[in-house]
A and B are shown apart, each in its own frame.
Chain A
């Protein structure tokens, strides 16, 4: 298969950047999107040009490192799939493919398609943990957790923190990510103790990072590779409202 790529090239954080066209030739249909980029990069290196910088790690859809906006859709538009698990057989031979980095003030571009997603780390540092004294390993099932609650918490915990929700949102809002991180701990007995403090600190940090607000368009949910539900945002809003009422009385 052959493709024409329009790729965002940007030398460093201070460069203005521009779209540059490349030809991707002799691509095997069963290659992943990232493997296709590897082939293009090998060509560029052979010609003595700077290869296209992009993030990747596990390449099996579980780490949340790959972060490409492909033809205007975060992760390329195949439901529940990261860019690394998107295969070239889903594209048409001869197609022009546009590739851009996540665009958000809170995710500054470092180089080409690589963005700094440190904002997510700082949000998790603000409250995405439980405070426990270390010591001996606790007994299994010492704290009973209901099946329904544990399933819900697991659904939220499926978030891999890739940032596609921010990339797809018209407001570059991080609500789905923060909601998933808040909910997965707030739902469990170990996390409930610090429920109010967690939701407050994490939302405060999210605002400080310069993300936009939620307009409930549902774009985040649609592109999320782990299919995190919009319902978690409602849950986080409820938790925040409860914390606000408690603090005000």
Chain B
């Protein structure tokens, strides 16, 4: 028995899955808290954006760390899934689903679609590739009155696209499914569970997943209902006046 068992054994790979999952869960919570600053107005979220982008010593280690964590999470998922498939070469002619929830049976699929969404999301709001935002606007040139990158305007314009909003909500629904099972399963995988508070963990997982789902989709829904449009329009009016002059 040595540390390589962490990468070779079934239980070890589940430890990797659980620990990276826990880290990603914390990221999802922090990212949500950051995003929700959109409801504090343009100044707050633009300052937050400038703070993150201005600290290269902070943001790059965080990005590299996240990339490694995501890499390990996906590596263990693929490895485990391949082994699981191989463990039953001959399927049942008839099989009933007993006790297993929909979320628990589809973790690999929800995970892979979420991964595809993350790639899109990075191209959309981080790299800001104009072709993927479906609004015809270039997000990189958006600036507010303080000449900071206008994160608020980028988010509002971004979510004014109905297609983007629907894909975003769909991805968040899958994230909800993934977390509703994953958050309680990671305690099980690490053995941080006893009969005493096992049901408490399961309840925490569902409540936390719901809060995360509602929190994330509140932003595109608010934008679709008109939130921030007057702010965005004020820039259009200014631009128009410039042209008229």
Residues of A bordering B, CB below 8 Å: 6, 8, 19, 69, 71-73, 77, 98, 100, 103-106, 168, 170-173, 175, 196, 200, 203-204, 206-207, 210-219, 221-223, 229-231, 233-241, 243-244, 247-248
Contact = CB atoms under 8 A, between A and B. Distances in A.
Nearest to A221: B99
B54 to A, nearest CB: 39
Greatest chain B CB density within 10 A among A170, A223, A238 is at A170
Interface string B70-97: 0000000000100110111111111111
Given A168-B98, A200-B5, A204-B9, A237 B87 contact: no
B137 interface: no
Given A173-B10, A248-B2, 5 more contacts: A98-B93, A98-B94, A173-B84, A212-B86, A212-B88
Contacts of A73: 96, 98
A212 to B, nearest CB: 3
B13 interface: yes
A100 B100 CA distance: 20
Greatest chain A CB density within 10 A among B90, B185, B194 is at B90
Greatest chain B CB density within 10 A among A203, A216, A218, A243 is at A216
Nearest to A212: B87
Nearest to A209: B87
Contacts of A218: 99-101, 104
Contacts of B189: 214, 216, 237
Contacts of A170: 84, 100, 105
Interface string B12-40: 11110000000000000000000000000
A77 B88 contact: no
A72 B96 contact: yes
B61 interface: no
A172 B87 contact: yes
B93 A217 contact: no
B136 interface: no
B191 A219 contact: no
Contacts of B105: 170, 215, 217
- Interface range for B: 35 or more
Nearest to A246: B1
A138 B105 CA distance: 49
Contact of B83 (A98, A103, A213, A231): A213
Contacts of A69: 92, 95
Contacts of B184: 216
A234 B193 contact: yes
A64 B98 CA distance: 20
Interface string B109-149: 00000000000000000000000000000000000000000
A100 B92 contact: yes
Given A173-B87, A229-B195, A241-B15, A72 B190 contact: no
B107 to A, nearest CB: 7
Given A216-B185, A248-B3, A237 B89 contact: no
29 contacts: A69-B92, A72-B96, A77-B96, A103-B91, A104-B88, A170-B84, A171-B84, A171-B87, A196-B1, A213-B14, A215-B185, A218-B99, A218-B101, A218-B104, A221-B99, A231-B195, A231-B198, A234-B191, A236-B11, A237-B189, A237-B191, A240-B12, A240-B191, A243-B1, A244-B1, A244-B3, A244-B12, A247-B3, A248-B3
A212 B85 CA distance: 8
Interface in B187-234: 187-195, 198
Given A106-B87, A173-B87, A247-B2, A240 B11 contact: yes
Q: 4 smallest A-B Cβ distances: which pairs?
A: A238-B191, A212-B87, A217-B100, A171-B84
B10 A237 contact: no
A105 B89 contact: yes
Nearest to B186: A216
Nearest to B194: A231
A171 B83 CA distance: 8
B181 interface: yes
B62 interface: no
A105 B94 contact: no
Nearest to A200: B1
